[in-house]
Structure 1
Amino acid sequence: MSDSIVVERRDNALWLTLNRPHAHNALNSVMTGQLVDAFRDAAGDDAIRAVVLTAAGDRTFCAGADLKGDAGSFDTGRAENPLVQVYRAMRACHKPIVGRINGAALGGGLGLVSACDLALAADHARFGTPEVRVGLFPMMITTYLIRQLPRRRYWEMAFLGEPLSAAEAERYHLINRAVPAAELDRQVVDVLERLEANSPNALRVGKQALDLMQDMSIDQTLTYAEVMIERLASSDEAREGMAAFAEKRKPHWVRAEESSHG
Structure 2
Amino acid sequence: MKTIHYEKKGEIAYLYINKPEKRNAIDSIMSDLFLEYLETFKTDSEARVLILTGKGDKAFCSGRDLKEAKENPEAFKKKPLRGRLFNAMIETYKPVICAINGVAVGAGCEIALASDIRLATVDCKLGMPEAKRGMGATFGATILPKLISPSFAAKMLYTGKLVTAEEALKIGLVDELLEDQQQLLERATELALEICECAPLSVQRIKEMIWKTMDVPLFQALQLDIGPNVYESEDRIEGAQAFLEKRKPVWKGK
Offset from partner CA, 1:142-166 (integer Å, 9 cap, x none): 1221211211211111122211111
- Are 1:152 and 2:131 counterparts? no
- For 2:8, the equivalent position in structure 1 comes to 9
CA distance in structure 1 between the partners assigned to 2:30 and 2:7 by the alignment: 15
CA distance in structure 2 between the partners assigned to 1:73 and 1:57 by the alignment: 29
Q: Map of 1:1-262 to 2, 5 A cutoff? A: 3-71=2-70, 72=73, 75-77=76-78, 81-181=80-180, 182-224=182-224, 227=225, 231-254=229-252
Determine helix, strand or coil for the equivalent of 1:82.
Answer: coil
Determine helix, strand or coil for the equivalent of 1:89.
Answer: helix
CA distance in structure 1 between the partners assigned to 2:138 and 2:131 by the alignment: 11
CA distance in structure 2 between the partners assigned to 1:143 and 1:127 by the alignment: 16
CA distance in structure 2 between the partners assigned to 1:152 and 1:102 by the alignment: 27
Determine helix, strand or coil for the equivalent of 2:16.
Answer: strand
Residue identity opposite 1:14 in structure 2: A
CA distance in structure 2 between the partners assigned to 1:141 and 1:85 by the alignment: 14
Shift of 1:128: 1.2
CA distance in structure 1 between the partners assigned to 2:8 and 2:228 by the alignment: 34
Structure 1 residue ranges, 4+ long, deviating more than 6 angstroms after superposition: none
Residue identity opposite 2:202 in structure 1: A
**Distance verdict in 2 for CA 1:229–1:163, change over 3 Å:** closer
Determine helix, strand or coil for the equivalent of 2:6.
Answer: strand
Shift of 1:83: 3.8
Residue identity opposite 2:246 in structure 1: K
CA distance in structure 2 between the partners assigned to 1:230 and 1:115 by the alignment: 22
Offset from partner CA, 1:111-134 (integer Å, 9 cap, x none): 000000111111110001122222
CA distance in structure 2 between the partners assigned to 1:198 and 1:61 by the alignment: 29
- For 1:260, the equivalent position in structure 2 comes to none
Offset from partner CA, 1:207-252 (integer Å, 9 cap, x none): 111111112222221111xx45993222111111111111111111
Corresponding residue pairs, total: 251
TM-score by length of 2: 0.92
Offset from partner CA, 1:9-34 (integer Å, 9 cap, x none): 11211111001111111111011111
**Distance verdict in 2 for CA 1:73–1:93, change over 3 Å:** farther
CA distance in structure 1 between the partners assigned to 2:142 and 2:166 by the alignment: 23
Shift of 1:139: 2.5
**Distance verdict in 2 for CA 1:229–1:192, change over 3 Å:** closer
Q: CA RMSD in A?
A: 2.0
Whether the 8 Å CA contact 1:28–1:73 is kept in 2: the answer is no
Determine helix, strand or coil for the equivalent of 2:120.
Answer: strand
**Distance verdict in 2 for CA 1:229–1:44, change over 3 Å:** closer
Offset from partner CA, 1:43-90 (integer Å, 9 cap, x none): 11100011111110111001111111344388545xx62342111111
TM-score by length of 1: 0.89
Determine helix, strand or coil for the equivalent of 1:26.
Answer: coil
Residue identity opposite 1:240 in structure 2: E
**Distance verdict in 2 for CA 1:18–1:73, change over 3 Å:** farther
CA distance in structure 2 between the partners assigned to 1:202 and 1:145 by the alignment: 26
**Distance verdict in 2 for CA 1:21–1:208, change over 3 Å:** same
Whether the 8 Å CA contact 2:204–2:227 is kept in 1: the answer is no
CA distance in structure 2 between the partners assigned to 1:37 and 1:174 by the alignment: 27
CA distance in structure 1 between the partners assigned to 2:228 and 2:102 by the alignment: 42
Percent of aligned pairs with the same residue? 25
Structure 2 unmatched runs, 5+: none
Whether the 8 Å CA contact 2:121–2:165 is kept in 1: the answer is yes
